[in-house]
Amino acid sequence: MSTVDDDPVAAPDWVGRAANQSRLAFGLAVTELAARDSSVVAVSADTLDLIGLRDLSDRFPERLIEVGIAEQNAMGIASGLATTGLRPFVCGYAPFITARSLEQLRNDVAYANQRVVIGAAASGISLGVAGGTHHALEDLALMRALPNMTVVVPADAHQAWHATLATEHLDGPVYIRLGGRVEEPAVTPVVASIRIGQADVLRDGSDVTVIACGALVAPALEAAADLSAQGIDARVVNMHTLKPLDRDPILAAAAETGGIVTAEEHHLTGGLGGAVAELLAREHPSRMRMVGMPDEFAVVGPTDRVRDRYGMSGRGIRAAVLDLLGRSEPLA
């Protein structure tokens, strides 16, 4: 599996400016699209710095609308702009741009099938210290439930950049789940484009398959490396698009390996694990384990420690694989 390009001198300017954070890569990509297309407009819900929109504001001030902490207004404005032929990109905090504006999201954007792209930063528990109100652990379930909605969960800043550019060729609403003020390890090449709706197999394996998205793709690769030392050959799939779901690698994993472990920074209800289980229940019942947030509100604390508490880590994924295969952790 190749990761980032080895030559930092040859890397595009946006790579350094994104600083391994998908939220910044999204903002830079929106600015790039605005330079290409005069119909692109950003609607910000208090995210000029969170999503890195200062450059867009300086270059195209007439195409940035700052609504403040008013996500419902942001969604309604974006829908209205889309009806005029403009291409609005809504920029918000994941917990608020989804839950607070859900009525407008459903009725004004999804029901109307508007061409609106939603960049949702600070997803999962990337704002762990900010408390339960700032955790977004049910957003994927909400977005998956909306007809017409495309749901994308980039694995790193590189993929966030390419996913944002790829919306140029999509009709209808798109939800792009982004990280917070936490560095995200690069697991995809700088130059690798993304094909919305087509998952990437990052590592081959025949014993078990780990299907991960977003912040848990890097821990999935870490877990696979640890398992290899124990003689377990783990396949790793980056399921960056939850809707439409890529059926082929899931069904192939069910047929070719000894079981599937899903891993996501989201409640176990309605997210990646739910999507995979729904497909397998209909077409290829298989042994599964799911790594994610249990049915409770997360505690408050540093992001890494909160993730580790709930097993949303390389160690947690490894433990789920061993449990699925009926193996035990090796003695230290």
What angle is formed at CA 98 by the lines to CA 248 and CA 246, rounded to 5 degrees? 5
Cα–Cα distance between 269 and 15 in angstroms, integer? 34
Q: What are the residues facing 40 on neighbouring strands?
A: 87
Output the pLDDT for position 329.
75
Please name each of the domains of the chain with its CATH number: 13-177 (3.40.50.970), 200-324 (3.40.50.920)
12 Cα distance to chain centroid: 22
Q: How far is CA 4 from CA 56, 125, 217, 273, in A?
A: 26, 25, 14, 28
Backbone angles phi, psi at 44, to 5 degrees: -105, 135
In this prediction, residue 236 carries a pLDDT of: 98
CA atoms of 151 and 28, how far apart (whole Å): 20
Which pLDDT value is given to residue 218?
98
Q: Which residues are within 8 A (CB) of 214 and not within 5 positions of it... i.e. 6 or more apart?
A: 123, 124, 153, 154, 155, 177, 179, 264, 265
Tens digits of pLDDT across the chain (332 residues): 334 444 555 789 999 999 999 999 999 999 999 999 999 999 999 999 999 999 999 999 999 999 999 999 999 999 999 999 999 999 999 999 999 999 999 999 999 999 999 999 999 999 999 999 999 999 999 999 999 999 999 999 999 999 999 999 999 999 999 999 999 999 999 998 899 999 999 999 999 999 999 999 999 999 999 999 999 999 999 999 999 999 999 999 999 999 999 999 999 999 999 999 999 999 999 999 999 999 999 999 999 999 999 999 999 999 999 999 998 777 55
Instruction: Tell me phi and psi for residue 59, to 5 degrees.
Output: -85, -35
210 sits in which H/E element: strand 208-212
The whole-model pTM stands at: 0.95
Tell me which H or E stretch contains 288: strand 288-293
